[in-house]
A = this chain, B = another copy of it.
Amino acid sequence: MKIGIYGYGNLGRGVESAMKQHKDCELVGIFTRRAPESLHTVSSASVYSADRITEFKDKIDVLIICGGSATDLPVMTPMLAKDFNVIDSFDTHAKIPEHFETVDKAAREGGHTALISAGWDPGLFSIMRVYSEAVLPIGKDYTFWGRGVSQGHSDAIRRIEGVVDARQYTVPVESAVSAVRSGECPELTTREKHKRECYVVAEEGADLSRIEKEIKEMPNYFADYDTTVTFITLDELRKNHAGLPHGGSVMRNGQSGFENENTHTVEFSLKLDSNPEFTASVLVAYARAIYRMSCRGITGCKTVLDIAPGDLSQMSAEELRAHLL
């Protein structure tokens, strides 16, 4: 399976590093909007200007698009789906139906297969919501995120005047997680589900109380949460907050029995040292599934909900039945 990486940030680098674990994959090249010679890749992969991508039309089986959901992917994925089988990690939940339509149209026009919104949420977490809802139609589900770094919230803090750098951790409220895990179905407000921890490096002489107030009152991002702000030095940030860990849990409590007298708790949880590397690993597994569907003549846009688990594996159906079923 010949893979191309389109975009070389944290996620693209994660895909590059995942290549050696997926023995059936060959990395054809990394495509960047920056000057190719300016890229410091870790493997010996070839680097090309993104402008040259159409030259590789028949040389790549699946193109893994590693762009941002805000402005990159809504343009890139439909554009590239005309010429390639593609996969992305589009994660703006509210805009998935719209993104699906534009990618589906482009992929069908080009006779290609596309998959959007792969990763862990949307992605593996979505799958777990569907499995548990299908099996336990009467019940209530919960998604908790963290403890982990939210890039979006960290960026929001960085935009405040006087802030040099910042790292924001999303933290699930332990008492809420425990209540759900014990089979209860509480109604939880935003504040009762997650709290936000901010580690902020301020400019020398900056008004710290003003910065703290601006963070805590920021609408959408922080105002609805219990937020703590801790000022640290740039050295501390680099030393203690360099990684991008994340994780979380999807849980569902559902009932069964003639009188709904029995309760079942289904939980799927992830604890990730590196959010971008894990997301990249999911993308590579789904690239395999998309390639197989493409070989079967299936075209158009798919999501993780349309893919059978067996299609993700390097093992054959016989091996899977014998060893993992």
Give chain A's interface residues, CB within 8 Å of chain B. Answer: 14, 17-18, 21-22, 42-43, 93, 96-97, 100, 117, 122, 124, 126-131, 133-138, 183, 256-258, 262-274, 277-278, 280-282, 285, 288, 303-310, 312-315, 317-318, 320-322, 324-325
**A312/B134 contact (C-beta < 8 A), A267-B268, A271-B264, A320-B305 known:** yes
Contacts of A258 in B (CB 8 A): 17, 42-43
Interface centre among A269, A315, A321 (most CB of B within 10 A): A321
Q: How far is the CA of A267 from the CA of B13 in the complex (A)?
A: 26
The 9 closest A-B pairs by CB, nearest first: A262-B273, A134-B312, A305-B310, A256-B277, A265-B271, A262-B274, A134-B285, A130-B309, A134-B313
Query: Quick check: A17 and B256 within 8 Å, CB to CB?
Result: yes
Contact B321 A100 (CB under 8 A): yes
A325:B126 contact, CB within 8 angstroms: yes
Distance A210 CA – B310 CA, assembled complex (angstroms): 49
Which of B21, B130, B272, B281 is close to A312, meaning CB atoms less than 8 Å apart?
B130
Instruction: Identify A306's interface contact among B264, B312, B317, CB under 8 A.
Output: B317
Name the B residues within 8 Å of A305 (CB-CB): 308-310, 317, 320-321, 324-325
Whole-angstrom distance between the alpha carbons of A18 and B266 in the complex? 17
Select from chain B the residue with minimum beta-carbon distance to A126. Answer: B325
B14 A131 Cβ-Cβ under 8 A: no
Closest B residue to A117 by beta carbon equals B325
Given contacts A96-B325, A308-B308, A325-B122, contact A135 B267 (CB under 8 A): no
**Would you give the shortest CB distance from A185 to chain B, in whole angstroms?**
14
Q: Which residue of chain B lies nearest to A132 when distances are taken between CB atoms in the complex?
A: B124
Residue of B nearest to A130 (CB): B309
Q: By the criterion CB–CB under 8 Å, are B271 and A183 in contact?
A: yes
**Pick from B22, B136, B138: contact of A137, CB under 8 Å:** B22
A277-B306 in contact (CB<8A): no
Contact A277:B303 (CB < 8 A) given known A130-B320, A312-B135, A325-B122:
no
Asked if A303 and B325 make an inter-chain contact with CB atoms under 8 angstroms apart, the answer reads yes
Q: List 28 A-B contacts (CB under 8 A).
A: A17-B257, A18-B256, A43-B258, A96-B321, A97-B318, A100-B321, A124-B135, A126-B325, A130-B309, A133-B315, A134-B285, A135-B278, A256-B277, A262-B274, A263-B273, A264-B271, A264-B274, A265-B270, A265-B272, A267-B270, A268-B269, A303-B321, A304-B309, A305-B308, A305-B320, A305-B321, A305-B324, A307-B308
